[in-house]
Structure 1
Amino acid sequence: MALLWLLLLLALAGPVGGTWDSCRGTCGLRPMAFDHSSVVPEYSQDGDYEPLSSSEGTSQSTGGTGVHPGAWPGVISIQATLENGTWHMCSGALIDPQWVVTVAQCFRGAGDISRWEVVIGATDLSQPGPEAELRHIQTLQVHKYYNPSTARNNIALVQLDQPVECSDYIQLGCVPDSSLAVAELKTCYIAGWRASPESAPGPRLVLQEAKVRLIDVQLCNSSRWYGGAVHPQELCAGYPRGGIDTCQGDSGGPLVCKDNAGDYFWLVGLTSWGKGCAGAKRPGVFTSIQHFHTWIQVQMGLLPPEADVPPPEPFPAPAPEPEAESDSDTSDLEESSAGDSEDYTVISYRHRILGQFLKLLLELLQFLKGEEA
């Protein structure tokens, strides 16, 4: 009977494989969140999206709605204290009581980060509330292969000076390993900070969320979309017609997807880049957390350094093939697969390595043939 109760508790706690935490063995929980299907609209009554206005230079999640305290217990704000005040720099996600994952571009040209702070458990940065906690950065680990010009390996880890305690307002994100079929997750959300229109006398940043769909990366890479600029280590999310997207200031913000079987969420992406905000065929591009699962474990000391194999050298990909013109509405793409709606060309590293091997094998055979002669 005791074993039965233990198994029941583990099932209720959420996923355990491919994750790490010390908050009572749980991650991906959102105890203060409502039923999202009733509070996050995808369309307005006239059948179109509802973009939200925002001032230039502030964070914004176009087409989202405000959230109540505790609805996003794993989201954090990384802030810098400068001569003219303290400013939100980027977002991130808590994945361990003392570790936060975010994007490397947040710290590009940052210099001394000793005065930077991390706010955990808040939904209103002007009034964090008693449930929020403040920490300083103890160490920063930026991916050594991060390329600012291409956003390749756009990921970083921040170690807090002190661990935090989990609560209804502070929870850990679930980092998936390779066993999770991320592309099959159907219910996904983004979150970011934006200036509230009611803010007075100064700017007031509040957390905002929106429902999105994962978009096939091959479709996202087709010539009339991003034309091959999206890396295999990235995800696309949004809608073909646009209208809902992350935008300026949302860097590092989480992309989470509800597990298809359990009542918990997977942290699958971090807001990385995009062309414009909420445009048609220009969805948000996110760093795939799953791709960096081993790297994260190595940086946190959970695996030896040799476990993280360096990535192969990048090579130029050919331009995608031209697409056939279509009179159909772009909304039809939402329910279609990449193969039905776009022409594309994909060359994998595996094929390239195989080609090099065959070339070397042919040279070896020619050499041996010459020796026999």
Structure 2
Amino acid sequence: MFWFSFILLVAVQLGEASNDANCGKASVGLNARIHGGQYATQGMFPWQASLKSLKHPAHLSYCGGTLYNNQWVITAAHCVDEMLGGTDPNMWQVRVGLASVAHWENGRQDYNVTRVILHPHYHLFRPDQTKIQAHMDLALLKLDSPVTVDNFVNNICLPDSDARVGTDCIVSGWGVDSMHVENSTPDDESDTLKWTYAPILDPGYCSQPHVWGSMMVSSIMVCAGFEHGRDDACEGDSGGPFICPSPDGSHWELQGIVSWGDVPCGEKPTAHVRVTAFMSWIQQTIQSN
């Protein structure tokens, strides 16, 4: 069973990152290694965005996203698909600079959305009656004005290359507890942003039949995390950032976008959209809009 599943089939051209000088830096450092989930504080993940759908007002945070280029948020296409969320920009609000989605925090910034752009090859289909799968699960949201960069809000860097297998990366979001995902409600979402380490795994391992088999298309997906009950992304974390340290350790880079995993969460590694495979599309779309 999947909390969201899809198959990616087509490779895309790799582009080069176009980052500003201060991207990928947080005012609150990550000093402690962890093996389970931990609550974040404001400023720890200043690129983390919360997407709130006005079609689903009961959800404190409908999906996650990542702030890039001051006015653009990168997320998963299935979050804003008409069937699941809605591509009308008037139906979305984006919040940045926050840790809690339940309480107001000084420093939080709220924005309306003026553009919702799905990857042109994205579509949903049903391989059977139990799954919804997707193709090219990537979308961009344009905010109605540029964010104010401060101690709580900052852009992420896009990578110039893939992080190596074995790199300890981080996934964060407000998703539901893995114990509740099969019968989850909006009340099961985390009020406070959570994060955990998730190492990048060898695609050959993740492509084994007992893990993800042929669903793991390594050229445009990143497989990361653990098996058998370790903390990981879950339902509600979709679209959020999977970040890794830069090669020189000076900043954080967006290596993946949370897409799908197993139920209960943490039983198998999570699949993320591989950002390096979509760099050209991301940058060309932003420049032309």
TMscore range, shorter length: 0.7 to 0.9
The within-5 A match list for 1:175-214 is 175-177=158-160, 180-184=161-165, 186-194=167-175, 205-214=191-200
Distance 1:130 1:34 in 2: 22
Q: Which is greater in Rg?
A: 1
C-alpha distance 184-215 of structure 1, shift in aligned 2 (>3 A): closer
2:176–2:188: 8 Å Cα contact kept in structure 1?
no
1:34 shift after superposition:
3.5
1:85 shift after superposition:
4.8
Q: Which has the higher strand share?
A: 2
Distance 1:254 1:87 in 2: 18
1:146 shift after superposition:
1.0
Relative contact order higher in (CA < 8 Å, ≥ 6 apart): 2
Partner of 1:12: none
Aligned residue identity for 1:183: R
C-alpha distance 86-193 of structure 1, shift in aligned 2 (>3 A): closer
Distance 1:233 1:35 in 2: 31
**Unmatched runs of 5 consecutive residues or more in structure 2:** 1-14, 126-132, 178-186
| 2:20 paired with 1:33 | no
Aligned residue identity for 2:163: V
- CA offsets 1:247-275 (integer angstroms, 9 cap, x no match): 11110111111123232111100110112
1:142 shift after superposition:
0.2
C-alpha distance 206-138 of structure 1, shift in aligned 2 (>3 A): same
* Residue from 48, 51, 62 that aligns with 1:78: 51
C-alpha distance 279-69 of structure 1, shift in aligned 2 (>3 A): closer
* Residue from 253, 264, 270 that aligns with 1:277: 264
Identical-pair percentage: 26
Distance 1:215 1:142 in 2: 28
1:126–1:204: 8 Å Cα contact kept in structure 2?
no
Q: TM-score normalised to the size of structure 2?
A: 0.81
The within-5 A match list for 1:227-306 is 227-231=213-217, 232-280=219-267, 282-301=268-287
The within-5 A match list for 1:10-89 is 18-21=16-19, 25-37=21-33, 41-42=34-35, 63-82=36-55, 85=58, 87-89=60-62
Q: Which has the higher helix share?
A: 1
Distance 1:142 1:26 in 2: 28
2:171–2:241: 8 Å Cα contact kept in structure 1?
yes
Aligned residue identity for 2:28: M
C-alpha distance 156-260 of structure 1, shift in aligned 2 (>3 A): same
What is the RMSD computed on CA atoms of the aligned residues?
Answer: 2.5
Distance 2:264 2:120 in 1: 29
Aligned residue identity for 2:146: P
2:112–2:144: 8 Å Cα contact kept in structure 1?
yes
1:194–1:205: 8 Å Cα contact kept in structure 2?
no
Partner of 2:96: 120
C-alpha distance 124-260 of structure 1, shift in aligned 2 (>3 A): same
1:70–1:168: 8 Å Cα contact kept in structure 2?
yes
| 2:145 paired with 1:162 | yes
Aligned residue identity for 2:17: T
C-alpha distance 203-267 of structure 1, shift in aligned 2 (>3 A): closer
C-alpha distance 71-103 of structure 1, shift in aligned 2 (>3 A): same
| Runs of 4+ that moved beyond 6 A | 201-204
Partner of 1:142: 118
